[in-house]
Amino acid sequence: MTTKSETTKKPADSAAWHVVDAAGKTLGRLASEIAVLLQGKHNPAYVTYLNTGDFVVVINAEKVRVTGKKLEQKIYYRHSGYHGGLTEQTLSAVLEKHPTRVIRGAVKGMLPKNTLGRRMLSRLKVYAGGAHPHEAQTSAKGNAAKSAAKTARRESS
C-alpha cells in the first residue's frame, strides 16, 4: 500500500492583507515580522518554492524606532552609475526624506535573493503616514492586530 504525500499547488489568490503600524516599533524586529508574513511562513501550506505569502501594508513608517546611535552612525549608500557617483546618507537623513525606503530595505534584506523574493517584496506596501489606499482589501485586521498586541506585550515586559 502506498501513501501519497500532499503537496501545495499554486495558491488560488488566497493571500490575506495585513496592516502593520510601525509607530514606536523597533526597525529590525518589525522587518522580521513582515518578512515572515510576506514569505508565508505563518501558513501551514508554506513551501519554499511558491509565493504563499500575504500582502502587508505598513503605515506610519516615519515613526519607526531604532536603538543606540544608529540614527547618526548607520549609513546608506547609493550609486548613480557614473564615476564618483557614490552618495552616502545617515539613517536620520533617509528617514527625514524617504521614510519608506528604510523599512523596504530592511525587509528586502530578510527575503530570498531570487525572483521569488522580488515577487514577495512587490506585495509589501509601505506608507509614511497613517493613511493608505488599500482600505477595501484590508477590512479584516485580525491577524495583524493579534501580532501587534503580542509585540506590545513583549516590549512592555
Task: Say which residue, 149 or 89, is predicted with more confidence.
Answer: 89
Beta carbons within 10 angstroms of residue 7's beta carbon? 8
Burial of 122 (0-12, 13-18, 19+ CB in 10 A): exposed
Provide the pLDDT for residue 14. 76
**Contact in structure between 55 and 126 (CB atoms under 8 Å):** no
pLDDT in tens, 127-150: 999 899 988 887 655 455 555 555
**Domains of the chain from N-terminus onward:** 17-66+98-149 (3.90.1180.10)
pTM, whole model, 2 decimals? Answer: 0.81
Whole-number CA gyration radius for the chain: 18
100, 114 Cβ separation under 8 angstroms: no
Q: What is the pLDDT of residues 91-127, one digit of tens each?
A: 999 999 999 999 999 999 999 999 999 999 999 999 9
